[in-house]
Amino acid sequence: MGNRQVIDSTALLVRKILAGAEAGHDWWHINRVWNNAKLIAGHEDVDLFVVELAALLHDIADAKFHGGDEEVGPRVAGDFLTSVKVDPAVIEHVQNIIRYMSFKASFGNVAFHSKELAVVQDADRLDAIGAIGIARAFSYGGYKNREMYNPEIAPNLNMSKDDYKNSAAPTINHFYEKLLLLKDKMNTQTGKAIAQQRHQFMEQYLEQFYAEWNGVEREQNPERQ
Ligand code: ADP
Ligand code: NI
Protein backbone atom coordinates (compact mmCIF):
# COMPACT_ATOMS: atom_id res chain seq x y z
CA MET A 1 0.00 0.00 0.00
CA GLY A 2 1.27 3.51 -0.79
CA ASN A 3 1.32 6.16 1.94
CA ARG A 4 -1.83 7.84 0.63
CA GLN A 5 -3.75 4.55 0.74
CA VAL A 6 -2.51 3.85 4.27
CA ILE A 7 -3.78 7.26 5.37
CA ASP A 8 -7.14 6.74 3.67
CA SER A 9 -7.63 3.33 5.27
CA THR A 10 -6.54 4.70 8.66
CA ALA A 11 -9.14 7.47 8.36
CA LEU A 12 -11.81 4.89 7.50
CA LEU A 13 -10.87 2.71 10.48
CA VAL A 14 -10.88 5.66 12.90
CA ARG A 15 -14.20 6.88 11.59
CA LYS A 16 -15.68 3.41 12.14
CA ILE A 17 -14.23 2.92 15.63
CA LEU A 18 -15.29 6.35 16.83
CA ALA A 19 -18.88 6.12 15.52
CA GLY A 20 -21.10 7.00 18.46
CA ALA A 21 -18.23 8.39 20.57
CA GLU A 22 -18.91 11.32 22.91
CA ALA A 23 -18.99 14.60 20.92
CA GLY A 24 -15.66 15.98 22.19
CA HIS A 25 -13.76 12.91 21.03
CA ASP A 26 -15.70 11.82 17.98
CA TRP A 27 -14.60 11.51 14.35
CA TRP A 28 -15.10 15.26 13.80
CA HIS A 29 -12.56 16.05 16.52
CA ILE A 30 -10.11 13.78 14.70
CA ASN A 31 -10.95 15.38 11.37
CA ARG A 32 -10.33 18.89 12.80
CA VAL A 33 -7.04 17.82 14.39
CA TRP A 34 -5.97 16.18 11.11
CA ASN A 35 -6.68 19.44 9.25
CA ASN A 36 -4.94 21.57 11.91
CA ALA A 37 -1.95 19.21 11.79
CA LYS A 38 -1.64 19.49 7.99
CA LEU A 39 -1.92 23.28 8.24
CA ILE A 40 0.85 23.53 10.87
CA ALA A 41 3.02 20.89 9.16
CA GLY A 42 2.97 23.07 6.02
CA HIS A 43 5.16 25.55 7.92
CA GLU A 44 7.48 22.98 9.54
CA ASP A 45 10.16 20.59 8.36
CA VAL A 46 8.49 17.34 9.42
CA ASP A 47 7.56 13.86 8.15
CA LEU A 48 4.00 14.47 6.98
CA PHE A 49 3.19 10.74 6.88
CA VAL A 50 3.97 10.37 10.60
CA VAL A 51 2.09 13.60 11.41
CA GLU A 52 -1.05 12.52 9.56
CA LEU A 53 -1.08 8.99 11.01
CA ALA A 54 -0.56 10.26 14.56
CA ALA A 55 -3.25 12.94 14.16
CA LEU A 56 -5.70 10.32 12.93
CA LEU A 57 -4.87 7.73 15.60
CA HIS A 58 -4.20 9.92 18.66
CA ASP A 59 -7.59 9.32 20.34
CA ILE A 60 -8.28 5.84 18.99
CA ALA A 61 -8.70 4.48 22.54
CA ASP A 62 -8.82 7.11 25.29
CA ALA A 63 -7.50 5.76 28.61
CA LYS A 64 -10.32 7.40 30.52
CA PHE A 65 -12.80 5.18 28.72
CA HIS A 66 -10.63 2.05 29.23
CA GLY A 67 -10.22 1.89 32.98
CA GLY A 68 -7.20 4.22 32.90
CA ASP A 69 -5.08 1.88 30.72
CA GLU A 70 -2.88 4.36 28.81
CA GLU A 71 -1.34 1.67 26.58
CA VAL A 72 -4.59 0.71 24.79
CA GLY A 73 -4.29 3.55 22.26
CA PRO A 74 -0.69 2.83 21.20
CA ARG A 75 -1.49 -0.91 21.04
CA VAL A 76 -4.60 -0.55 18.84
CA ALA A 77 -2.75 1.90 16.56
CA GLY A 78 0.30 -0.38 16.36
CA ASP A 79 -1.77 -3.47 15.53
CA PHE A 80 -3.56 -1.67 12.73
CA LEU A 81 -0.43 -0.10 11.21
CA THR A 82 1.32 -3.48 11.35
CA SER A 83 -1.61 -5.07 9.50
CA VAL A 84 -1.20 -2.58 6.64
CA LYS A 85 2.58 -3.15 6.61
CA VAL A 86 3.80 0.28 7.69
CA ASP A 87 7.53 0.52 8.43
CA PRO A 88 8.16 -0.49 12.10
CA ALA A 89 10.15 2.71 12.76
CA VAL A 90 7.16 4.81 11.64
CA ILE A 91 4.84 2.70 13.81
CA GLU A 92 7.03 3.20 16.86
CA HIS A 93 7.16 6.94 16.26
CA VAL A 94 3.36 7.17 15.90
CA GLN A 95 2.91 5.13 19.09
CA ASN A 96 5.24 7.44 21.01
CA ILE A 97 3.34 10.48 19.81
CA ILE A 98 0.05 8.95 20.99
CA ARG A 99 1.64 8.06 24.34
CA TYR A 100 3.15 11.45 25.06
CA MET A 101 0.88 14.04 23.54
CA SER A 102 -1.99 14.29 26.00
CA PHE A 103 -2.34 17.11 28.49
CA LYS A 104 -2.15 14.54 31.30
CA ALA A 105 1.21 13.32 29.98
CA SER A 106 2.58 16.86 30.34
CA PHE A 107 2.50 16.46 34.13
CA GLY A 108 5.95 15.27 35.25
CA ASN A 109 8.87 14.50 32.96
CA VAL A 110 8.12 13.91 29.33
CA ALA A 111 10.49 11.26 28.05
CA PHE A 112 9.90 11.64 24.32
CA HIS A 113 10.23 14.60 21.96
CA SER A 114 9.99 14.96 18.20
CA LYS A 115 9.05 17.68 15.74
CA GLU A 116 6.14 15.53 14.59
CA LEU A 117 4.86 15.21 18.17
CA ALA A 118 5.13 19.00 18.54
CA VAL A 119 2.93 19.51 15.46
CA VAL A 120 0.24 16.97 16.37
CA GLN A 121 0.14 18.16 19.98
CA ASP A 122 -0.40 21.75 18.82
CA ALA A 123 -3.12 20.59 16.45
CA ASP A 124 -4.93 18.77 19.29
CA ARG A 125 -4.50 21.69 21.69
CA LEU A 126 -5.98 24.13 19.17
CA ASP A 127 -9.14 22.02 19.13
CA ALA A 128 -9.44 22.43 22.92
CA ILE A 129 -9.60 26.25 22.75
CA GLY A 130 -11.64 28.91 20.97
CA ALA A 131 -15.27 28.41 19.96
CA ILE A 132 -14.81 24.67 19.44
CA GLY A 133 -12.96 24.33 22.74
CA ILE A 134 -15.84 26.00 24.58
CA ALA A 135 -18.36 23.70 22.89
CA ARG A 136 -16.26 20.64 23.75
CA ALA A 137 -15.85 21.64 27.39
CA PHE A 138 -19.61 22.06 27.93
CA SER A 139 -20.31 18.91 25.97
CA TYR A 140 -17.86 16.97 28.19
CA GLY A 141 -19.29 18.59 31.34
CA GLY A 142 -22.81 17.61 30.27
CA TYR A 143 -21.68 14.08 29.52
CA LYS A 144 -20.27 13.93 33.07
CA ASN A 145 -23.34 15.67 34.52
CA ARG A 146 -21.24 18.54 35.92
CA GLU A 147 -22.48 21.98 36.92
CA MET A 148 -21.76 24.64 34.27
CA TYR A 149 -20.57 27.09 36.91
CA ASN A 150 -20.64 27.41 40.68
CA PRO A 151 -19.24 30.66 42.10
CA GLU A 152 -18.66 28.87 45.42
CA ILE A 153 -16.18 26.37 43.94
CA ALA A 154 -12.88 28.05 43.02
CA PRO A 155 -10.63 26.63 40.29
CA ASN A 156 -7.68 24.54 41.47
CA LEU A 157 -4.61 26.09 39.89
CA ASN A 158 -2.09 23.58 41.28
CA MET A 159 -3.50 20.29 40.11
CA SER A 160 -1.53 17.05 40.07
CA LYS A 161 -2.17 14.53 37.30
CA ASP A 162 -4.55 12.61 39.62
CA ASP A 163 -6.42 15.77 40.65
CA TYR A 164 -6.88 16.58 36.96
CA LYS A 165 -8.15 13.10 36.09
CA ASN A 166 -10.50 12.93 39.09
CA SER A 167 -11.80 16.48 39.08
CA ALA A 168 -15.59 16.80 39.20
CA ALA A 169 -15.55 20.60 39.34
CA PRO A 170 -17.89 22.84 37.32
CA THR A 171 -17.05 23.24 33.64
CA ILE A 172 -16.11 26.93 33.95
CA ASN A 173 -13.27 25.89 36.28
CA HIS A 174 -11.82 23.83 33.45
CA PHE A 175 -11.13 27.09 31.59
CA TYR A 176 -8.76 28.19 34.38
CA GLU A 177 -7.36 24.72 35.04
CA LYS A 178 -6.55 23.96 31.40
CA LEU A 179 -8.01 25.92 28.50
CA LEU A 180 -6.56 29.35 29.30
CA LEU A 181 -3.14 27.79 29.95
CA LEU A 182 -2.83 26.20 26.52
CA LYS A 183 -1.72 29.25 24.53
CA ASP A 184 1.55 29.32 26.49
CA LYS A 185 2.14 25.62 25.89
CA MET A 186 2.09 25.76 22.10
CA ASN A 187 5.21 24.35 20.44
CA THR A 188 5.22 25.87 16.95
CA GLN A 189 5.03 29.47 15.68
CA THR A 190 1.97 28.70 13.56
CA GLY A 191 0.27 27.02 16.53
CA LYS A 192 1.06 29.99 18.77
CA ALA A 193 -0.41 32.50 16.33
CA ILE A 194 -3.69 30.59 15.92
CA ALA A 195 -3.90 29.94 19.69
CA GLN A 196 -3.55 33.66 20.47
CA GLN A 197 -6.66 34.53 18.54
CA ARG A 198 -8.71 31.63 19.97
CA HIS A 199 -7.55 32.57 23.48
CA GLN A 200 -8.88 36.12 23.13
CA PHE A 201 -12.21 34.73 22.00
CA MET A 202 -12.44 32.62 25.19
CA GLU A 203 -11.64 35.63 27.36
CA GLN A 204 -14.44 37.62 25.73
CA TYR A 205 -16.74 34.65 26.15
CA LEU A 206 -16.02 34.45 29.89
CA GLU A 207 -16.69 38.18 30.36
CA GLN A 208 -20.04 37.80 28.66
CA PHE A 209 -20.80 34.63 30.67
CA TYR A 210 -20.24 36.37 34.02
CA ALA A 211 -22.20 39.44 32.94
CA GLU A 212 -25.17 37.27 32.04
CA TRP A 213 -24.76 35.15 35.18
CA ASN A 214 -24.88 38.24 37.38
CA GLY A 215 -27.62 40.01 35.45
CA VAL A 216 -25.29 42.86 34.58
CA GLU A 217 -25.64 44.68 31.27
CA ARG A 218 -22.39 44.93 29.32
CA GLU A 219 -21.57 47.94 27.19
CA GLN A 220 -23.14 47.70 23.76
CA ASN A 221 -20.86 46.99 20.86
CA PRO A 222 -20.62 50.46 19.21
CA GLU A 223 -20.77 48.94 15.72
CA ARG A 224 -24.22 47.57 16.46
CA GLN A 225 -25.73 50.84 17.79
P1 ADP B 1 -6.28 15.24 27.22
O2 ADP B 1 -6.44 13.92 26.50
O3 ADP B 1 -5.43 16.23 26.50
O4 ADP B 1 -5.95 15.09 28.67
P5 ADP B 1 -9.02 15.33 27.62
O6 ADP B 1 -9.27 14.04 26.92
O7 ADP B 1 -9.04 15.37 29.10
O8 ADP B 1 -7.67 15.94 27.14
O9 ADP B 1 -10.02 16.40 27.09
C10 ADP B 1 -10.75 16.25 25.92
C11 ADP B 1 -11.76 17.37 25.77
O12 ADP B 1 -12.64 17.38 26.90
C13 ADP B 1 -11.10 18.73 25.74
O14 ADP B 1 -11.79 19.59 24.89
C15 ADP B 1 -11.17 19.16 27.17
O16 ADP B 1 -11.12 20.55 27.31
C17 ADP B 1 -12.49 18.58 27.62
N18 ADP B 1 -12.44 18.31 29.05
C19 ADP B 1 -11.58 17.51 29.72
N20 ADP B 1 -11.78 17.56 31.05
C21 ADP B 1 -12.80 18.43 31.22
C22 ADP B 1 -13.49 18.95 32.36
N23 ADP B 1 -13.17 18.59 33.59
N24 ADP B 1 -14.49 19.83 32.15
C25 ADP B 1 -14.81 20.22 30.90
N26 ADP B 1 -14.21 19.78 29.79
C27 ADP B 1 -13.22 18.90 29.94
NI1 NI C 1 -7.62 14.70 20.76
Contact (Cβ atoms closer than 8 angstroms) between residue 105 and residue 147 = no
Q: What is the dihedral of CA 186, 188, 191, 197, to 10 degrees?
A: 70
Pocket test for ligand 1, best of 32, 110, 136 (most atoms within 8 A of CB): 136
Give the 3-state DSSP-derived string for 148-165, with helices as H, strands as E and coil as C: CCCCCCCCCCCCCHHHHH
pLDDT band at 67 (very low <50, low <70, confident <90, very high): confident
Whole-model pTM?
Answer: 0.90
* Nearest atom in ligand 1 to 103's CA: 3
Ligand 1 in reach of 125 Cβ (< 6 A): no
Across the chain, what does the average pLDDT equal? 92
